[in-house]
Structure 1
Amino acid sequence: MNIDEDTSAWLGCPTPLEMYQHQCALLEDELIQTQVMLRKARANIGGLVQMNDLLATGKAKAETELRMAMADLSRANVHTSEMSKDIMGLKMIASQNEHLRVENQCLRLQLRVLKGPQP
């Protein structure tokens, strides 16, 4: 049995040229697929850039609104503090008024006792 037999002439075995042509066809298909994927990737990148721009704009707007809200809150805190001082002053006056009213009633009662019964 001869093992070194040339099998290139057998039926169904491709010639070197056919193998190169097949390899070229495979490479062309890969190249086409790569180009399609590249186009999709570029479109995705474009979409991501747009989304990033929108998010950056939204972030800037939100930061501006936050600063405005913080300023409003600060003004409200100052106003509340001033009103709290006014309320405390009014409470002190009300307390003094009540104390004087009670003292006045006591003095009036003592005066009635000292004057005696009235006809």
Structure 2
Amino acid sequence: MDPYDIEDTSDWLGTPTELETCRQFLLMLENEVQELTSQLRKARQDVFGLVQMHADVSKERDKLRADFNRARTDALEAQRQAIDIQIKSSSELMSKDRVISELYATVVSLTGVEPFTQIPKQ
């Protein structure tokens, strides 16, 4: 194709020059860079907020974990005390039963009467 056959449009009204096209493209790139910078700033703020939230939640988790461990220790101590009381009361009951059995045997041997089967006459 002959270059003279191509229509020259450079002098038409409204057709941008190469310099105007470059300037327009530059402005579009500047706007895009500004928008991306704004989005990056917001993303950094969001990340900082998330990091701060994580730190706060981690502190609360550690506090709750310590409270839980303290409560578990208290519960185990209370359970140990309850077992000690139960053992003590069981041993006291057993020794009282033994004393009662010995006294019962003594009453039967001395009187010849079983006290729980005889009702005294009035």
- Tell me whether the two structures share a fold, i.e. TM-score over 0.5: yes
Q: Post-superposition shift, 1:71?
A: 0.5
- Identify if the C-alpha distance between structure 1 residues 94 and 12 changes in structure 2 by more than 3 Å, giving closer, same or farther: farther
Structure in which a larger fraction of residues adopt helix: 1
Is residue 9 of structure 1 aligned with residue 11 of structure 2? yes
**Aligned equivalent of 1:23, options 22, 25, 32:** 25
**What is the CA deviation profile of residues 68-104 of structure 1, one whole-angstrom value per residue up to 9, with x for unaligned ones?**
0111011011112122223434555676759x5xx52
Please provide the CA RMSD for this pair. 2.9
Return 76-85 or 89-98, whichever deviates more.
89-98
The match for 1:67 is 69
The match for 1:77 is 79
- Identify if the C-alpha distance between structure 1 residues 5 and 92 changes in structure 2 by more than 3 Å, giving closer, same or farther: same
**Aligned equivalent of 1:56, options 52, 55, 58:** 58
Q: Structure 1: give runs of 5+ residues left out of the alignment.
A: none
TM-score, with length taken from structure 1:
0.71
Q: Structure 2: give runs of 5+ residues left out of the alignment.
A: 105-113
- Identify if the C-alpha distance between structure 1 residues 94 and 11 changes in structure 2 by more than 3 Å, giving closer, same or farther: farther
Identity within the alignment, % = 29
Return 61-70 or 36-45, whichever deviates more.
36-45
**Aligned equivalent of 2:115, options 68, 79, 104:** 104
Q: Post-superposition shift, 1:8?
A: 2.9
TM-score, with length taken from structure 2:
0.69
